[in-house]
Amino acid sequence: MNWTNDLTQLLKIKYPIIQAPMLGVTTPEMVAAVSNEGGLGSLPVGLQSPEKALELIRKTKSLTAKPFAVNLFAHDLPEIDPAAISELQDRLLVIAREHGLDYNPVEIEKIRHYSYREQIEIIIAEHVPVVSFTFGVIDQESIRRFHEAGILLIGTATSVREAQHLESIGIDVITAQGIEAGGHRGTFLFDEPLPQVGSMSLIPQVTDQVKVPVLAAGGIMDGRSIKAAMILGALGVQVGSAFLRSDESLGIDVYKDAVADSADTETVLTRAFSGRWARGIRNTFHDEVEKLNLDYPAYPLLNDLTVPMRTASQKSQNKEFTTLWAGQSARLAKSKSSAEIFRDLVIETEELLKLK
Amino acid sequence: MNWTNDLTQLLKIKYPIIQAPMLGVTTPEMVAAVSNEGGLGSLPVGLQSPEKALELIRKTKSLTAKPFAVNLFAHDLPEIDPAAISELQDRLLVIAREHGLDYNPVEIEKIRHYSYREQIEIIIAEHVPVVSFTFGVIDQESIRRFHEAGILLIGTATSVREAQHLESIGIDVITAQGIEAGGHRGTFLFDEPLPQVGSMSLIPQVTDQVKVPVLAAGGIMDGRSIKAAMILGALGVQVGSAFLRSDESLGIDVYKDAVADSADTETVLTRAFSGRWARGIRNTFHDEVEKLNLDYPAYPLLNDLTVPMRTASQKSQNKEFTTLWAGQSARLAKSKSSAEIFRDLVIETEELLKLK
């Protein structure tokens, strides 16, 4: 089996291993380490102001001359109903304070949302070679602008139907996100129940149904899962949880420890933190919000409200009120530098690729 | 990679491919076809009287001289509360009749349950070489009796913890059932939410944590998924949905057609038919029972009540009131004889095993 394929040629990388964009965990240092080792790092700039996005891109470019991807959040901006948001915030504050966590809530009138459209000009000007997106699909005008600038586009699909949609609108590479994956689900077609397809079923069916290169995401942690994904038809993989415990991760110590100790059954799909489905290790906040049976507001309104709570939780090394995004294989994550983690993936996979 | 391994030696089979026991679908003809081709067929006898079990075993033995497995349901027998069951039956009848399906309900006083313990003597006397079980764990006395008779035991685990439990009580082979799998979940430790671990995460973590041979189940449909499962650490696979459309399947035509047309996202986990979680193609009965928000009775009481409804539904080629068990890759199932389906799996896998 070949390590070098259409995908590595397209992305101009040595190994078809993409580090997943993990907002709140990924740093420019992590992105650069992966790209410098011959993979593709992914820098998340979702929710960021254009100025902040520019700063992050420039920081990454200062650390690597290799290709990396910038990841956008492609959702529409929500209407803000101050009364409803204020009521929701009050309910969250009650939970936090009942459990002894004190923090200053968001000033609702100061909430400011940025569209991915505000970030496009910067990305083109900075000659970023690859743009990935999730939380929706970028519009046709944006696709045209990126393609005119020679930028490759990677979209995320959680079902065959989503993959076919992405291919039909001209997306160059599709990440097939199995239910094993940590963090937010990339689901964007909402007329059916949330797709929960395991990688063993999703990868072969997606690769059967689309012609563009497919990346496998979800449960990819080592040489075994990389080779397995490629046998199922993926030309490459996207790896997230494997970098959670890396030196370059923003994860606090108690989060990293929870990842190391996590059983295969320990993560849950929850909307508690952001209003969008995501997989993470279950904690107190998840359980308390589930009880409320919320009518979740459009993304990222709940996310806005939980930011100060999560920050306070992190500052006090309390893992009960912050996101502990992790996949179902997260316990296999190693505590090393991102470069070492990446090299281990390469060595393990090359060993297995030598074997029949 | 080797086709012949500890598992094939242990089970005395040529290829490490086990046909999953599918009560209501699997026939002695299917079991014998798979065993005759060098795999291991599995004959389900759960819920059957000892006499019926004996008849099925003898029928299978008349069709093959090769090893096959008998599959037991290892649940405890439930107490019957006639008033509660009668009330539940009335609610189901309302649903069926609202949708124009007429059938004679169960006479509750005639419900008779059989324990797997009543089937043990027959299995030993008939020299069945392998016994698999699900819906619970067989007791220590039964394990001892089977082992004394030289019978190998296969248990099902849906989490690492369940796999470790099975190994600790002396089970010889463990089937790791990923969330992709069709039919009933093998979950037996109920002190946590239903495990929903995808095969890509479950297989490597189970094989890392137990020493006994592991079979992968869930999403295994072709050479790709068989080789992928073996790379993830399984020594063999259990294949169910691939045989749903076989000539030897008891599935009615509309069920087989629904399987062929099923999208990756089309199955749901439901308790509607039996009270136990199982994956099948969503239909009217599933949706209607979900609305009732039932307090599900112990297995197999709800199953008893839905049997006549399912039978009536099947007789009228109506797929809305019968079980359409199917995995997330079921659309890859072929309409051929079981022997041809098995040979295709072998040929595809051998082709892939030749490649690096």
Task: Answer whether B328 sits within 8 Å of A222, measured CB to CB.
Answer: no
CA A294 and chain centroid, separation: 24
For the segment B182-195, what is each residue's pLDDT rounded down to a tens digit?
999 999 998 878 99
Q: What is the pLDDT of residue A1?
A: 65
3-class secondary-structure state, position B174: strand
CA B12 and chain centroid, separation: 22
Residues of B (151-190) whose Cβ lies below 8 Å from A: 159-161, 178-180
Contact (CB, 8 A) for B306 and B289 = no
Residues of chain A contacting B352 with CB distance shorter than 8 Å: 231
Residues of chain B contacting A237 with CB distance shorter than 8 Å: none
Alpha-carbon distance B153 to A185, whole Å? 39
CATH classification for the domain delimited by B6-78+113-250+332-354, as one of 3.40.50.300, 3.20.20.70, 3.40.50.2300, 3.60.10.10: 3.20.20.70
The closest of B68, B356, B327 to B222, measured between CA atoms, is B327
Give the DSSP letter string of A245-268: TSTT----HHHHHHHHH--TT-EE
Alpha-carbon distance A188 to A207, whole Å? 19
CA A114 and chain centroid, separation: 18
Residue A300: cis peptide before it, omega within 30 degrees of 0: yes
Inter-CA distances, B17 with A285, A301, B57, B307, Å: 44, 50, 20, 31
A6-78+113-246+330-354 classified as CATH 1.10.3720.10 = no
Q: What is the pLDDT of residue A354?
A: 87
Task: Answer whether A200 sits within 8 Å of B354, measured CB to CB.
Answer: no
Alpha-carbon distance A164 to B197, whole Å? 26
pLDDT score of B3 more than 90? no
Mean pLDDT of B220-240: 98
Q: What is the pLDDT of residue B190?
A: 87
For the segment B198-213, what is each residue's pLDDT rounded down to a tens digit?
999 999 999 999 999 9
Alpha-carbon distance B85 to B78, whole Å? 12
Chain B nearest-CA residue for A355: B356
For the segment B162-172, what is each residue's pLDDT rounded down to a tens digit?
999 999 999 99
Alpha-carbon distance A157 to A134, whole Å? 9
Which of A159, A198, A264 is opposite residue B205, by nearest beta carbon?
A: A264
Task: Answer whether B265 sits within 8 Å of A195, measured CB to CB.
Answer: yes
Mean pLDDT of B36-47: 98
Q: What is the pLDDT of residue B192?
A: 78
Q: What is the pLDDT of residue B1?
A: 64
Average pLDDT, chain B: 97
Side-chain half-sphere of A239: how many Cα atoms within 13 Å? Answer: 35
Mean pLDDT of B33-52: 98
User: How far is A74 from chain B, CA to nearest CA, in Å?
Assistant: 23
Residues of chain B contacting A200 with CB distance shorter than 8 Å: 178, 180, 198-200, 218-220, 225, 228-229, 329
3-class secondary-structure state, position B270: strand
Mean pLDDT of B260-283: 97
pLDDT score of B244 more than 80? yes
The closest of B333, B177, B36, B322 to A200, measured between CA atoms, is B177
Q: Which residues contact A34 (CB under 8 A, 6 or more apart)?
A: A17, A19, A40, A41, A68, A243, A338, A339, A342
Which two three-digit tokens encode residue B91? 């609610």
Contact (CB, 8 A) for B155 and B74 = no
User: How far is A88 from chain B, CA to nearest CA, in Å?
Assistant: 27
Domain boundaries, chain B: 6-78+113-250+332-354
Residues of A (190-219) whose Cβ lies below 8 Å from B: 192-193, 195-202, 204-205, 218-219
Q: What is the pLDDT of residue B37?
A: 98
CB neighbourhood size of A156 (10 A): 30
Task: Answer whether B268 sits within 8 Å of A160, measured CB to CB.
Answer: no
Q: How many helices (H) and strands (E) does chain A have?
A: 13, 11
Task: Answer whether A198 sits within 8 Å of B218, measured CB to CB.
Answer: yes
pLDDT score of B158 more than 80? yes
Amino acid at B175: T
Contact (CB, 8 A) for B214 and B207 = yes
Task: Answer whether A264 sits within 8 Å of B195, measured CB to CB.
Answer: yes
pLDDT along chain A (356 residues), means of 10: 89 98 98 98 98 98 98 96 95 95 94 97 98 97 98 98 98 98 96 93 98 98 98 98 98 98 97 97 96 94 96 97 98 98 97 86
Residues of B (333-352) whose Cβ lies below 8 Å from A: 352
Residue B105: cis peptide before it, omega within 30 degrees of 0: no
Alpha-carbon distance A278 to B132, whole Å? 36
Q: Please, where are the H alpha helices in chain A?
A: 6-11, 28-36, 50-63, 82-98, 120-125, 140-148, 160-168, 199-209, 223-231, 253-261, 284-292, 301-315, 338-354
For the segment B82-128, what is each residue's pLDDT rounded down to a tens digit?
999 999 999 999 999 999 999 999 999 999 999 999 999 999 999 99
